[in-house]
Structure 1
Amino acid sequence: MEMASLKPRLTFWQLWNMSFGFFGIQFGFALQNANTSRIFSTLGASPDDLPLFWLAAPVTGLLVQPVIGYMSDNTWHPYWGRRRPFFFLGAIFASLALFLMPNSTTLWMAVAVLWMMDAAINVSMEPFRAFVGDKLDVTQQTAGYAMQTFFIGCGAVVASLLPTIFSDYFAVSNVPVNGMIPDTVRFSFYIGALVYLLSVMWTVFTATEAPPDDLAQFRAERKASAGLGHAIAEILGGFGKMPKTMVQLAFVQFFTWIALFAMWIYTGTAVADNVWGTTNAQSEAFQDAGNWVGIMFGVYNGVSALAAFILPIFARATSRKVVHTTCLLIGGASLASIFMITDKQTLIYPMIGVGIAWASVLTMPYAILAGALPARRMGYFMGLFNFFVVIPQIVSGLLLGWVTSHFFGGHTVKTLMLGGACMALAGVLTLFVTDKAPEAK
């Protein structure tokens, strides 16, 4: 950890360039989050089955991120560096999947493309978290993650609003024809594919990486650790070597991501049922509700982009734990409040609270964790940390449909209330996390 103090302090534009790829990554994620349930429903999926179809997202993350983290830790190329080869390859395949998704002609094709999309997004996304730990001094890491959160918010705002923009300003059809995906959604995904590719390539070709401190030793260790068996043993063995802070954050992440997964899966059907009064995915009202959910998601992502630069100020005045606890409590109450709202305009207000929570989710846990990790294995542990993002999503995928059907009478808006309660619990658990990393002055 002593070597971290030798890292040069980066300028604003250097932080900008190394983070800009997240604009495209979240552009793709936002299109997925706001429209996947809509696409599945349009192609014939029932609300009870949606969580199972969404399992592609967490399962690919579970499999891909630790492996990619391990591989990027053990990669070095004189031109491409350590993390950028994975940015590059992931962007190519993710862009292809974004193009294919709205052209799915059957439900199972859409599910298969979602697997491909999530695997590719994870390949390009996971090393971005380690990128901050690689390049920034500990006193600048919170600012680095805040810059990523800013681009995440900006990309998600534009992506979430695209179907409505096409429908309202360019008179593009928002109605399914012969059971196929509406043109508003198709065109949005086409733009998303292009934005994803160009944004990630910006970071690939404008950011630089420093070689390992002792390149000869690095190559010797890489040669000694070569082989699939050694890699698997290293990846699995890391669970027993997790820092205390990482274990504590795992519980926070678990309940946080149950809430987020419920929101992404069920906001569309909840709003259609609770506000538009329909569950018919082929109806114009259902598709209009889908566009409004895009606006709602745009609002929470826009708020997160603004909050990204405000939260570090509050963290310096108080602590990162206090900020994260407060934000999660606000987000949990806001998500649960959707149950009481039957007017579409009023739905914007809880999204402000969710946006505050989302900004903290994308910034504070990673900033806290980065200060507790060994620099040499930053990518691996950041990938391992993703287990505690995807495991709750897998649990949700297996159980939320059953809970919604058996306890909530099929009313998905009640599932959002459950998600709000989980997020509030995560906020309370944050108070028990150890955070000893120094803050910027």
Structure 2
Amino acid sequence: MLRIIKQLLPLFIVQFFTWLALFSLWIYATPVITKYIFNTTDAESTAFENGTTWVGICFALYSTLAALLAFVIPRLTKSFSKYKVHAMALLIGSIGLLLIYYIKNQYVLLISFVFIGIGWSSISNIPYSIIGEIAPEDKMTTYFAVFNFSIVIPQITAAFLLGFLTRHYFAGETNLTILTGGIAMFVAGCIMFFVKEKEVE
């Protein structure tokens, strides 16, 4: 088990920052978009309802784009290293998250979610493909079981850390929380560039 953890540690670190960023989006997208794009915090208002609807549109956009790009990624990984493709996708995704802080127009916001969709397409494909390559056939289930903790741990961390930061350091400004998520995904992309294939062989 220790050997498996040691093999997966570089990817674990990348996954930690990646999923911390994703949870910042999933938890805070609605309060950010309703407050900073639709200029309301009144949950009973029409503007708030329009904002939540727009959140759904934005999420549908990045999910649909990610599903379409899932057919493109295998072609890219035939020409380039999976590690480099994933690193670039994470950096692009981080740009999408970072832009949310600056964008104040609902239609321009769609650009952010296009970038996030590119990142999400890689996140939901390449790490699992890498595990499938490096895991011995007789231990495949164990490798994937251990690797699932790379999602569970940042989820637990996000539940406590992001709320703590938002309340005590960001004065309730949730756009700063998503900005922090963008920084976390940028860090993940940078680390991924330095993960060598031999480290997880």
**What TM-score bracket applies, with the shorter chain setting the length?**
over 0.9
Question: Runs ≥4 in structure 1, deviation > 6 angstroms?
Answer: none
Within the alignment, does 1:287 sit opposite 2:49 as a pair? yes
Aligned position for 1:340? 102
> For residues 377-407 of structure 1, what are the alpha-carbon distances to aligned partners after superposition, in whole Å with 9 as ceiling and x for unaligned?
2222212111111111111111111211222
In 2, Cα distance between equivalents of 1:281 and 1:242: 47
> For residues 325-370 of structure 1, what are the alpha-carbon distances to aligned partners after superposition, in whole Å with 9 as ceiling and x for unaligned?
1000010011111111111111111101000000100111111111
What's the CA shift for 1:244?
4.5
Within the alignment, does 1:428 sit opposite 2:183 as a pair? no
Match of residue 135, structure 2, among 370, 373, 379: 373
Aligned position for 2:161? 399
Q: Name the Cα RMSD after superposition.
A: 1.4
Within the alignment, does 1:298 sit opposite 2:42 as a pair? no
What's the CA shift for 1:243?
5.8
Residues 138-153 of structure 1: matches in 2 within 5 Å?
A: none
Within the alignment, does 1:408 sit opposite 2:187 as a pair? no
In 2, Cα distance between equivalents of 1:426 and 1:255: 5
In 1, Cα distance between equivalents of 2:140 and 2:120: 23
Equivalent pair of 2:37/2:106 in contact (CA under 8 Å):
yes
Residues 295-374 of structure 1: matches in 2 within 5 Å?
A: 295-374=57-136
> For residues 107-138 of structure 1, what are the alpha-carbon distances to aligned partners after superposition, in whole Å with 9 as ceiling and x for unaligned?
xxxxxxxxxxxxxxxxxxxxxxxxxxxxxxxx
Q: Measured at CA, do residues 367 and 245 of structure 1 come closer, stay the same or move farther in structure 2, by a change above 3 Å? A: farther
Equivalent pair of 2:62/2:114 in contact (CA under 8 Å):
yes
Equivalent pair of 1:248/1:432 in contact (CA under 8 Å):
no
Match of residue 17, structure 2, among 215, 234, 255: 255
Equivalent pair of 2:5/2:146 in contact (CA under 8 Å):
no
Helix, strand or coil at the partner of 1:345: coil
* Structure index of larger Rg: 1
Equivalent pair of 2:97/2:181 in contact (CA under 8 Å):
yes
Aligned position for 1:171? none
Equivalent pair of 1:269/1:412 in contact (CA under 8 Å):
yes
What's the CA shift for 1:287?
2.1
Residues 177-256 of structure 1: matches in 2 within 5 Å?
A: 238=1, 240-242=2-4, 244-256=6-18
Equivalent pair of 2:131/2:143 in contact (CA under 8 Å):
no
Q: How many equivalent residue pairs?
A: 198
Aligned position for 1:213? none
Helix, strand or coil at the partner of 2:124: helix
Equivalent pair of 2:101/2:178 in contact (CA under 8 Å):
yes
Aligned position for 2:28? 266
5+ residue gaps, structure 2, are none
Partner amino acid, structure 2, of 1:343: N
In 1, Cα distance between equivalents of 2:12 and 2:99: 26
Equivalent pair of 1:338/1:350 in contact (CA under 8 Å):
yes
Aligned position for 2:146? 384
In 1, Cα distance between equivalents of 2:10 and 2:48: 41
Helix, strand or coil at the partner of 1:371: helix
Helix, strand or coil at the partner of 1:248: helix
Aligned position for 1:418? 180
Helix, strand or coil at the partner of 2:72: helix
In 2, Cα distance between equivalents of 1:321 and 1:278: 41
What's the CA shift for 1:285?
2.0
In 1, Cα distance between equivalents of 2:24 and 2:183: 11
In 2, Cα distance between equivalents of 1:399 and 1:279: 23
Using the aligned pairs only, state the percent identity: 38
What's the CA shift for 1:416?
0.8
Helix, strand or coil at the partner of 1:309: coil
5+ residue gaps, structure 1, are 1-237, 437-441
In 2, Cα distance between equivalents of 1:251 and 1:310: 26
For CA contacts below 8 A with separation 6 or more, give which structure has more relative contact order.
2
Equivalent pair of 1:266/1:415 in contact (CA under 8 Å):
yes
In 2, Cα distance between equivalents of 1:245 and 1:313: 26
In 1, Cα distance between equivalents of 2:7 and 2:90: 18
In 2, Cα distance between equivalents of 1:254 and 1:399: 13
